[in-house]
Chain A
Amino acid sequence: METVLPYAGLFATGTAITLLVTLAVLPIGICLGLLGAAAKLSGDPVAMAYANFYTTVVRGLPEFLVILIFFMGGQHAVNAIVDMVGYDDFVDFNPFAAGTLALAFMFGAYATEIFRGAILAIPKGQAEAARAFGMSGWLTFRRITLPQVWRLALPGLGNLTLVLMKDSALLSMIGLNEIIRVAGIGAQTTKNTTLFYFVGALLFLLLTFIVTAIQKRLEIKANRGIAQARG
């Protein structure tokens, strides 16, 4: 305990960064997922081919490799652009930006499948009813489809968020000061590796616990209008 306490502040910032990455990825990933689902359900061959290629590739690529590609490729691209402008010094590419984009890219692919399933699960008659009320396409989507997509997609999105949080640990390898890197720093200075990585693991368990609790509350809220079977 005395060994870890001086590092409490460091661990706190590490946890905050892990949370920040997760929160930054979620909106981008959800947008990508909705776009991907729109493409897969559009019936348009080009859009479908894109979306299928996207989900196929992400499914087969290791998360770590994708992060490395985004980070090093991004660094290369940024420096190439800066060179073109006429600035000769080496520019460091922000690991937070690279990591967020890489994780969002992967989150989006899995979210695509979840949203696709959710949209397909909404009964046809509801849109017909909305039409009978004189709603336009966009209004139907916003008022009828989207709120239900949210409800149906929640369990899947919750699981994805847990996966995302664990994947954010990989960003320590490109130099982001999140939980694992902080644990590593403490481990190196105090030589008590087992303890520090164990504390890091416990912090992740705590985050998992919190996310699961939030997910449960959101699900109860989203399902409040739905009749539940009682045993």
Chain B
Amino acid sequence: MQAETKDLLIRIAWRSFYVLTALVVAAIIYGLSILNYGVIFKYFGKVLGGAVITLELVTIAVILGFFVALPTALMRLSPNPLLRYPAHTFIYFFRGTPLLIQMFFVYYGFAQTDIVRETFLWPIFKQAYWCALFTFVLNTGAYSAEILRGAIQAVPAGEIEAARAFGMSKWTAYRRVILPRAFRIAMPAYGNEIIFMLKGTALASTITLLDLTGVARTVIARTFTSIDVFLVAGLIYVAITYCFLWGWSRIEKRVNAYLSQQP
């Protein structure tokens, strides 16, 4: 980096961040002193129960979302416009609108229409849980499809040509060469998408689900505390995120081991 810029950055950082230090430390000490520990301890088990629902939602959404994403990505790459445009529209809609409105659309709108109410779909869509999950699957499916599309396009052309030179059919080449390579390329972006999904599940609490955020909101409403339980919930979210990131980076290293410099 440039020496001049660096000097300047150091000066800015010194001035602003030491003032901030004093403020932050004071705020933390004051904040910790007014927290309602009775409520926190009493409801901690309940909050952890909410974390289980959150994890359940993310896991199912990401797994099912993958099975939405892969065909969508392949359709998006297809030369046939009849396949390409629907996939494009699906991705554009779900990436261009907020998750919240998608969920309201499904829960308050779609699930209440006659098409759903009078068919076999009703027992499923009358529950907020399945409405939320349905939305999450489509949402993460759209985002992941775009990630997979990028990854498939990033597979080096030489490897695809090599597969063809071996006489592999298109399907065999996809199965043995292109997709395995694309998944490895997509790993970091896919990890990010899973974290965004984890954070997105907090919205399930807006349609009455008792996930981590939902439980925290209920406890706060019941005990008339301010944000004590939210802070605990936040801590759990951050903990889940970093446990996941740690595990994910290990998997990433393992599947990409052939790319690493060390023997």
Contacts from A to B (Cβ < 8 Å): 35, 38-39, 41-44, 46-47, 50, 56-57, 59-66, 68-69, 72-73, 75-76, 119-120, 122, 124, 126-128, 130-131, 135-138, 140-141, 144-145, 166-167, 169-170, 172-173, 179-180, 183-184, 187, 193-198, 200-201, 204-205, 208-209
With contacts A69-B227, A194-B105 taken as known, whether A166 is within 8 angstroms of B195 at the C-beta atoms is no
What separation, in Å, do the CA atoms of A172 and B18 have in the docked complex? 36
Nearest CB in chain B to that of A209: its residue: B96
List, sorted by A's number, 21 A–B pairs whose CB atoms are closer than 8 Å.
Answer: A39-B17, A41-B1, A56-B242, A60-B195, A60-B239, A60-B242, A62-B202, A65-B202, A69-B230, A72-B230, A137-B11, A140-B2, A141-B5, A170-B98, A170-B203, A193-B108, A193-B109, A195-B109, A197-B104, A201-B93, A201-B102
Of A44, A63, A138, the residue contacting B199 (CB under 8 A) is A63
Output the least CB separation between A22 and chain B (Å): 12
- B237 CB contacts on chain A under 8 angstroms: 60-62, 65
B104 — which chain A residues lie within 8 A by C-beta? Answer: 180, 183-184, 193, 197
Assess whether A197 is in contact with B13, with CB atoms less than 8 Å apart: no
Q: Which residues of A contact B8 (CB under 8 A)?
A: 137-138, 140-141
Known contacts: A60-B241, A124-B2, A197-B101. The answer to whether A46 contacts B231 by CB under 8 A is: no
Which residues of A have CB within 8 Å of B5?
A: 119, 127, 137, 140-141, 145
Asked whether any CB of chain A lies closer than 8 Å to the CB of B213, the reply is yes
A145 and B2 contacting across the interface, CB-CB below 8 Å? yes
A197 to B108, CA, bound (A): 9
B1-57, CB < 8 A from A: 1-14, 16-18, 20-21, 24
Cβ-closest chain B residue relative to A192: B109
Q: Could you mark each residue 206-241 of chain B with 1 if its beta carbon is under 8 Å from any beta carbon of chain A, else 0? A: 100000010011001000001100110110011111
Q: A64-B203, A205-B96 are in contact. Are A127 and B21 (CB under 8 A)?
A: no
Pick from B101, B234, B242: contact of A200, CB under 8 Å: B101
Q: Is the interface of A mostly helix, strand, loop or mixed?
A: helix
What's the nearest-Cβ distance from chain A to residue B240, in Å?
A: 8
Task: Give the shortest distance, in Å, between B190 (CB) and chain A (any CB).
Answer: 16
A141–B4 contact, CB under 8 A? Answer: yes
User: Are A43 and B10 touching (Cβ within 8 A)?
Assistant: yes
Asked whether A41 and B109 contact (CB < 8 A) given A65-B202, A131-B4, the answer is no
Count of interface residues, chain B, beta-carbon cutoff 8 Å: 61
Instruction: With both chains docked as a complex, state the minimum distance between the C-beta of B135 and any C-beta of chain A, in angstroms.
Output: 12
Q: A44 to B18, alpha carbons, bound, how many Å?
A: 11
- Shortest distance between the CB of A205 and any CB in chain B (Å): 5
Min C-beta distance of A96 to chain B, whole Å: 18
List of A residues within 8 angstroms of B213 by Cβ: 62, 64-65, 68
Q: Is the CB of B98 within 8 A of A169?
A: yes
| Contact present for B202 and A180 (CB under 8 Å) | no
The 6 tightest CB contacts between A and B, nearest first, are: A127-B2, A62-B202, A60-B241, A60-B238, A169-B98, A194-B109
- Give Cα A132–Cα B16 distance, bound, in whole angstroms: 29
Q: How far is the CA of A35 from the CA of B14 in the complex (A)?
A: 11
Closest to A58 in B: B238
Report B-chain residues with C-beta under 8 Å of the C-beta of A194.
105, 109-110, 112-113
Q: A62-B199, A69-B227, A180-B104 are in contact. List 4 more A-B contacts (CB 8 A).
A: A75-B226, A124-B2, A180-B101, A194-B109
Contact yes or no, B3 A61, CB < 8 A = no
Taking each of A41, A62, A119, A138, which has the highest tally of chain B beta carbons within 10 Å of its own beta carbon? A62
Residues of chain B lying within 8 A (CB to CB) of residue A64 = 199, 202-203, 205-206, 213
Say if the beta carbon of B68 comes within 8 Å of chain A.
Answer: no
Q: Given the complex of chains A and B, what is the CA–CA distance between A195 and B101 in angstroms? A: 12
Say yes or no: A65-B230 contact (C-beta < 8 A), given A57-B238, A60-B237, A72-B220.
yes
Residues of B within 8 A of A172 (CB): 100
Closest to B17 in A: A47
Bound CA span A211–B4, Å: 35
A180 CB contacts on chain B under 8 angstroms: 98, 100-101, 104
Q: How far is the CA of A73 from the CA of B35 in the complex (A)?
A: 12
Contact of B119 with A by CB under 8 A? no
A60 to B113, CA, bound (A): 36
Q: A145-B5, A184-B104, A193-B109 are in contact. Are A76 and B226 (CB under 8 A)?
A: yes
